[in-house]
Amino acid sequence: MNDKKKKPQKLKARLPRGFVDRSAADIRAVDGMVAKIREVYERYGFDPVETPLFEYTDALGKFLPDSDRPNEGVFSLKDDDDQWMSLRYDLTAPLARHVAENFNEIQLPYRTFRAGWVFRNEKPGPGRFRQFMQFDADTVGAAGVQADAEMCMMMADTMEELGLKGQFVVRVNNRKVFDGVLDGIGLAGDDNAGRRLTVLRAIDKLDKFGLDGVKLLLGEGRKDESGDFTKGAGLGSDQIASVLAYLAQDGYEPTSDLYTQGMSELDQIEALVRAAGYAEDRIKIDPSVIRGLEYYTGPVFEAELTFPVTNEKGESVVFGSVGGGGRYDGLVSRFMGQPVPATGFSIGVSRLMTALKNLGKLGDDEVLAPVVVCVMDRDIEALGRYQRFTQALRHAGIRAEMYQGNKKNFGDQLKYADRRGAPLAIIQGGDERAQGLVQIKDLIEGKRLSGEIEDNATWREARVAQVSVPEAELVEKVREMLDAQRQDRDRAAG
């Protein structure tokens, strides 16, 4: 019998499907983009608020893909008091809960914005993640369409602030208009709520699948390239024809009061945005805008980028929607038992970042790597001295790090600094210490010279890449050398 213990199996490092690790460059790019969005929202008089990642599942309510199975569409768990909690699916339902819970303290109209992560327990795919960031702005307590018009104008201003002038359009429709279409084909009433939502989600895929794909989703369903089948709304041929005729603006106009009211509101929005100087190339009335969530009750809008990109198949396609929103007058009201009108807009931050990268409008801001202070001696006194140099640079506003690795070889430390992209290395050995000096090695200039110098004698003569200064002049000299490097970069860029 073999009593030899089995070697424990090594744990495999693996990223959950639909989630991504973010690099320093991506984080800085998003921070810069969010700062510009925030600046526009603040300019419009909106204030920040923050809600938690988790909400009670019933607060997210019937607007989830399937409320009977809390884990369908959302990530859920049971609290210690046996209540279902879910990671937030969007930022709108949590805001509705926040407003209802603090209604007596909130000044209406309540104008607020928030950025944060949302989670979808759905099948991931190319460019489709289970965790992504949204940036929302909402006005609660304003019933007039002027609040919806303002949302559209703010979205247009945001796109232009991000450098997308002439490369976007904010498209506007009214859910009442389309509800009038659905009433006209026999889908009115609570009994048809599920089918109406399926129809809405089918039409929301128009920019992705085209009219033929939407036609399949309105009927029996659609099979994608992977073989997965999406069940359709099960409409009859006449019903499908009416919906497609509406989308194509092919003369189909229901006579319902709801349809008439919706069209009147669209006329008012158009008049308001045109009066404020926003032409059709920036804000456009478009009957194909539906939005796939059921809670919208009036005007709905999407910000669509109009420039072409190459997809995973190598095809040139329009980038499409990077945000959307609309009026949701029933979302707060279900907590309150009284009408509370609301309208809002949500930007898909992660998707918008991809678009800006495609255009080369993001991630170009220079982030200088830290100056590296080399560690020549490792006794406490020497380490304290190196740390003092490092802190002096930091307190002067210069990025700096003292080498913390195990490599004692000076050459290995310089290799580390080079891989970090460090502009300078600070060196003090025994000889320099005895004289109260430090060496500053210009790693950028040194790299340039190494490509030009062919022999050791010439290298020894070219000492401009390394200078010696008194300890007291370290910060001043480092700042001077960094400024010289910056001027070189500016000249090269110009």
pLDDT at 58: 86
pLDDT at 97: 94
Gap between the Cα atoms of 369 and 401, Å rounded: 10
Q: Give the mean pLDDT of 347-352.
A: 90
Q: Give the mean pLDDT of 226-253.
A: 84
- Taking CA atoms, 213 is separated from 196, 252, 329, 471, in Å, by 17, 20, 31, 71
Segment 194-225, tens digit of pLDDT: 888 888 888 878 777 888 888 999 999 898 87
Gap between the Cα atoms of 48 and 256, Å rounded: 40
The answer, yes or no, to whether residue 3 has pLDDT greater than 70, is no
Q: Where are the alpha helices (DSSP H) in 15-66?
A: 24-43, 57-60
Q: Give the mean pLDDT of 125-145.
A: 91
DSSP string for 364-380: -S--PPPEEE--S--SH
Tokens of 413: 């430390």
pLDDT at 337: 84
Gap between the Cα atoms of 269 and 272, Å rounded: 5
Query: Could you give the percent of the chain with pLDDT greater than 70?
Result: 90
Report whether 211 contacts 247 (CB < 8 A). Answer: yes
More confident residue, 48 or 77: 48
The answer, yes or no, to whether residue 63 has pLDDT greater than 80, is no
The answer, yes or no, to whether residue 46 has pLDDT greater than 60, is yes
Q: Give the mean pLDDT of 431-456.
A: 76
Segment 306-330, tens digit of pLDDT: 988 765 566 677 788 899 999 999 8
pLDDT at 442: 94
Poorest-confidence range of 60-74, 136-150, 353-367, 455-469? 60-74
The answer, yes or no, to whether residue 299 has pLDDT greater than 90, is yes
